[in-house]
Structure 1
Amino acid sequence: MSSLTEPFPVSLTISGVECPIHWDFRTVLCCQKILQNAGRELTEDEMARMLRLFYGQYTWYTEEHFDKMLWFFSCGREPERKHFPRKIAGINSKQAFDFEVDADLIYAGFIQQYGIDLQTEEMHWWKFMILLENLGGDTRFQKIMEYRTLDLSAKGLSKDQKRFYQAMQEYYGLDTEKAPDKAKLKALEEALERGEDVSELLKGW
Structure 2
Amino acid sequence: MLLDRLPSSYKGYLIRTDYRIGIQISLALDDPNLSDNDRVWVALSLLYGAGMPPIDIALEGLQWFIRCGDDREIEPGGKRMMWFDFDSARLYASFRQTFGIELHKVNLHWFEFMAMMESLNEDSAMSHALQIRGTDTSKMKGKQKQEYERLKRNLTPAPALSEEEKEAIDAFWAQIN
| TM-score normalised by the chain length of structure 2 | 0.78
Q: Looking at CA atoms only, which structure, 1 or 2, has the larger radius of gyration?
A: 1
Alpha-carbon distance between aligned partners in 2 of 1:59 and 1:113, rounded to the nearest angstrom: 37
Aligned match of 1:104 in 85, 89, 92? 89
Tell me which of the two structures has the higher relative contact order, counting C-alpha pairs closer than 8 angstroms and 6 or more residues apart: 2
1:54 aligns with 2:47: yes
2:4 is matched with 6
> 1:64-116 CA deviation, whole Å, 9 max, x = no partner?
11211221111111235889xxxxxxxxx642111000001001100011011
| Structure 2 residue aligned with 1:153 | 138
Structure 1 pair 160/117, CA: closer, same or farther in 2 (3 Å)?
Answer: same
Out of 69-78 and 168-177, give the one that drifted further. 168-177
Matches within 5 A, 1:119-130: 119-130=104-115
The one-letter code matched in structure 1 to 2:157 is L
Q: How does 1:57-76 map to 2 (within 5 A)?
A: 57-58=50-51, 61-76=54-69
Instruction: Note if 1:29 corresponds to 2:28.
Output: no
CA distance in 1, matches of 2:16, 2:136: 38
CA distance in 1 between counterparts of 2:72 and 2:34 reads 20
Note if contact 2:137-2:145 (Cα within 8 Å) is conserved in structure 1.
Answer: yes
Structure 1: gaps spanning 5 or more residues: 84-92, 179-205
Distance 1:94 1:174 in 2: 14
Aligned residues: 160
Q: Distance in 1 between matches of 2:74 and 2:150?
A: 35
**Contact 1:95 1:149 survives alignment (8 Å):** no
Query: Matched residue of 1:119: which SS?
Result: helix
TM-superposition CA deviations, 1:120-162 (whole Å, max 9, x none): 11000011001111212211111111111100024xx563322
- Structure with the higher fraction of residues in helix conformation: 2
Stretches of structure 2 that go unaligned for 5 or more consecutive residues are: 162-177
Percent identical among aligned pairs is 25
